Amino acid sequence: MHKGDFAFDQRLVRLSLFALGIGVLSTAGAWLLLAGIRFFTNLFFFQTISLVDHSPAAHQLGAWVIAAPVLGGLIVGLMCRFGSEQLRGHGIPEALEAILYGKSRMAPKIAVLKPLSSSIVIGSGGPFGAEGPIIMTGGAVASLLAQAFHLTSAERKALLVAGATAGMTAVFGTPLAAVLLAVELLLFELRPRSLLPVALACSIAAFLRPLCIADGPLFPLETAPPHLAALGSCVVAGFASGALSASMTAGLYRVEDLFARLPIHWMWWPALGGVVVGIGGFLEPRAFGVGYDVIGDLLANHLAMSVAAGLLVAKLLMWMVALGSGTSGGILAPLLMIGAGLGCLIGPYLPGGDPRLWALVCMAATLGGTMRAPMTAVVFALGLTHDLNALLPTLLACAVAYGFTVVMVPRSILTEKIARRGRHVFREYGVDPLEQHFIDEVMTRSVVAIDGTQTVAEALATHFGPTQPYRAYPVIVDGQARGIATRELLTRADTAKTVVSVLPAGDLEYALPTETCRSVAARMAALGVERLPVVEARESRRLIGLISRSDLLGVTRQVHEEELKREGWLSGNAAD
């Protein structure tokens, strides 16, 4: 039976096998990236060759520390200029652009230069996380593998997203959140062909992570169950986080516009941004680098309000200037720290919950509002902390922040960058009605056909007279479809010849009754035709119907009615 819940073919098995290997490769890439960050942190801040995890806040450089991010920005600016301009930015918009407009193709040098450039930037004090670079790196590795095996663009997309999300899983240990990130941000579809490889790759990365990176949640936390009064507090936290998200998006691109006005090449911008990062880190050393330890302290409520305020301001300014300068680094970790800082500031004034709850709630809501991915943010917070008591408050606050930014800001921090390159990303998607229906449901079964043994003159007289009802007719010989004849085709032919003899040479284009309307509509668009014969089977090619453009458009009529037709309980028959 061709009608099932999902489309399936043997390629799904092949993609799943590829995904298992991609999970391993992305985990190895995540380990290399984190090791590179530790290496350059020790090199820039402590002048040692080591992979030991040291916080840059413990440096003894004094005011000379300002030079570290400047030097890192200079190196990366040169890498972007002479290596690849795709190294600029935080990775997710670049991955989106490759998926939507680049047929999921990535160059080999991205897989090498992106983690290297990000390691240098973050290791020299850049206020970024490792997740954006590993998303780009994992996606590049998967894309290269797909290209090596000559897979289709759709298959490359599935594997690219699998590599990207597996890398994120390896860094944060949040496989379910990574799968949701794929659904909400990267795939632009929800079908086994794409979802299964992503889930498999993330699962492999999650199982391998304890062996080479870390075990357990990144920020273990257990807050007390919230009270009813927390309902209003969650709404307030959501609005505050949404306002912060909208402000950060606007501020970041305002900074980017200021850099664009400078009368110097963009290659030098990261070094200029490094000056601001260096000064900010000199005044607030804990704002340097990834800052996972700082996020943990904010969530545990270990920092005084004045310290949290200083960190919030310093991290926010450093992050906006550094990212606006076009350097390389991820945005998730900075958003986590900024959101947690907001929660620490407003938490004492929010009743109904554990004081530590609001740092977590605002952290997730800021992430969900900024990226327009509320479900990812909720599950991400749960995966990072394993705090089930915070699940409901986090869900409510993320929903409010998401709604606020959808209403107030036209694009997210991710899609704004792509829109500035002249490419609009529409992130709403649902099931295509053409995907839900098959040709045998909508085709015209009573077909007027031309007998291929007729002469051209006879066919013109009987089918293309003044009362001609159709623009084209299928041609049959002994019930077998041979092609489509039009007036233009026949008037150019010798009228004494048979109709079948003047049909274009080549393979017959036709539709099968078991095909979806979407696949046939795509083929008709590629061929530039308005109708196709429907045949019983490839072998017999017995004509059983005709599918036209108007037949396919009729499938979408229900969508039009559902969206625009208003009804009440008196306007139709209600179910008993």
Q: In the structure encoding, which two tokens stand for residue 125, read together?
A: 């004090």
Question: Which residues lie closer than 8 Å to 515 by C-beta, 6 or more apart?
Answer: 438, 439
The angle subtended at Cα 523 by Cα 182 and Cα 185, nearest 5°, is: 10
Higher pLDDT, 111 or 204: 204
Provide the whole-model pTM: 0.81
Same domain, yes or no, for 101 and 151? yes
Question: Which residues lie closer than 8 Å to 499 by C-beta, 6 or more apart?
Answer: 450, 451, 452, 453, 454, 455, 456, 459, 475, 485, 490
Say if 345 falls within a structural domain.
yes
- Rounded to an integer, the average pLDDT of 164-180 is 92
Higher pLDDT, 410 or 359: 359
d(CA 457, CA 474): 16
How many folded domains does the chain comprise? Answer: 3
* pLDDT at 312 > cutoff 70: yes
Say if 126 falls within a structural domain.
yes
**pLDDT, tens digit, 9 for 90 and up, residues 525-549:** 888 888 889 999 888 889 998 998 8
Residue 363's pLDDT is 96
Residue 576's pLDDT is 46
337 near 291, Cβ under 8 Å? yes
Number of DSSP helices (H) and strands (E) in the chain, helices first: 24, 5
Domain boundary among 212, 239, 268: 212
Same domain, yes or no, for 275 and 190? no
Same domain, yes or no, for 178 and 107? yes
* pLDDT at 462 > cutoff 90: no
Same domain, yes or no, for 313 and 259? yes
Higher pLDDT, 330 or 393: 393
Residue 575's pLDDT is 47
When mean pLDDT is compared over 89-98, 184-193, 376-385, 486-495, the highest value belongs to 376-385
Range of the domain at 46: 11-212
**pLDDT, tens digit, 9 for 90 and up, residues 61-102:** 999 999 999 999 999 899 888 887 777 776 677 777 777 777
Rg for the chain, CA atoms, rounded:
29
* pLDDT at 192 > cutoff 60: yes
Amino acid type, 344: C
Listed range (128-132, 195-199, 342-346, 556-560) with the worst mean pLDDT:
556-560
Q: Phi and psi dihedrals of 189, rounded to 5?
A: -165, 165
Domain boundary among 212, 243, 270: 212
Say if 27 falls within a structural domain.
yes
Say if 573 falls within a structural domain.
no
d(CA 483, CA 500): 8
- Rounded to an integer, the average pLDDT of 320-346 is 90
184 near 146, Cβ under 8 Å? no
* pLDDT at 506 > cutoff 80: no
d(CA 401, CA 415): 17
CATH code, domain carrying 293: 1.10.3080.10
Q: What is the largest CA-CA distance in the chain?
A: 97
Same domain, yes or no, for 178 and 299? no
Higher pLDDT, 91 or 119: 119
d(CA 53, CA 31): 13
Same domain, yes or no, for 129 and 252? no
* pLDDT at 324 > cutoff 70: yes
124 near 278, Cβ under 8 Å? no
Q: In the structure encoding, which two tokens stand for residue 354, read together?
A: 């554990």
Say if 5 falls within a structural domain.
no
Same domain, yes or no, for 47 and 152? yes
Q: Distance between alpha carbon 279 and the CA centroid of its chain, in Å?
A: 34
Same domain, yes or no, for 36 and 144? yes
Higher pLDDT, 175 or 474: 175
Same domain, yes or no, for 336 and 469? no
Domain boundary among 365, 397, 419: 419
Q: Which of 459, 470, 443, 472 is nearest to 535 (CA)?
A: 443
The bridge status of strand 450-451 relative to strand 472-477 is parallel
* pLDDT at 572 > cutoff 70: no
